[in-house]
């Protein structure tokens, strides 16, 4: 009985490692990648103050509510932060706990999926990266090699 309780506890914790958050752009599928030069100064100031040292930053505008989001690496993790047009941070979530996502993988994702937003990245034991995306209410997974090649794209099971 004790072993069953411990097993259930480990299973529950594994489900919490990287999870989808309900923030501004992660499930809409209606984003536009924008250059840093197109980000309003108030948002850029808030971002730089809240996330000093962030790297591999990608900016997005959500077409449904005109909010701005950023995905970035910091402290060996991949993050997402959302901002309203006034420059206030409206959300923050860690979208990959295992490691920062390499730039070559991020570039490959963006070239293959220009209007999708990742709600979760996973570094797999074989060294590949899996991006989890939503299109409407349907979940998909895209698997990339460490060198950025798209290996597989499929609907989540």
Residue 13 falls inside a structural domain: no
Nearest to 132, CA basis, from 146, 112, 116: 116
Residue 100 falls inside a structural domain: yes
* Domain span including residue 133: 21-155
Report whether pLDDT(14) > 70: no
Residue 84 falls inside a structural domain: yes
Residue 4 falls inside a structural domain: no
Q: Tokens standing for 104?
A: 């070559």
Q: Tokens standing for 110?
A: 């963006």
Residue 31 falls inside a structural domain: yes
Question: Domain count of the chain?
Answer: 1
Highest mean pLDDT range out of 21-30, 41-50, 92-101? 41-50
pTM score: 0.64
d(CA 2, CA 9): 11
d(CA 152, CA 144): 7
Three-state SS at 13: helix
Residue 2 falls inside a structural domain: no
Write the pLDDT tens digit of every residue in 69-88. Answer: 999 999 889 999 999 988 99
Residue 67 falls inside a structural domain: yes
């Amino acid at each position: 009985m004790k072993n069953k309780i411990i097993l259930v506890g480990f299973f529950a914790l594994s489900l919490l490692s990287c999870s989808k958050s309900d923030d501004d752009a992660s499930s809409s599928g209606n984003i536009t990648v924008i250059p840093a030069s197109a980000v309003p100064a108030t948002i850029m100031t808030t971002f730089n103050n809240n996330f000093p040292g962030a790297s591999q930053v990608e900016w997005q505008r959500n077409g449904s509510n005109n909010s701005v989001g950023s995905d970035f690496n910091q402290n060996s993790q991949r993050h997402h932060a959302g901002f309203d047009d006034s420059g206030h941070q409206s959300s923050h979530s860690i979208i990959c706990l295992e490691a920062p996502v390499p730039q070559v993988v991020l570039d490959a994702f963006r070239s293959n999926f220009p209007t999708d937003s990742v709600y979760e990245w996973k570094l797999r034991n074989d060294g590949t990266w899996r991006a989890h995306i939503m299109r409407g209410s349907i979940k998909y997974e895209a698997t990339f090699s460490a060198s950025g090649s798209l290996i597989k794209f499929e609907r989540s099971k």
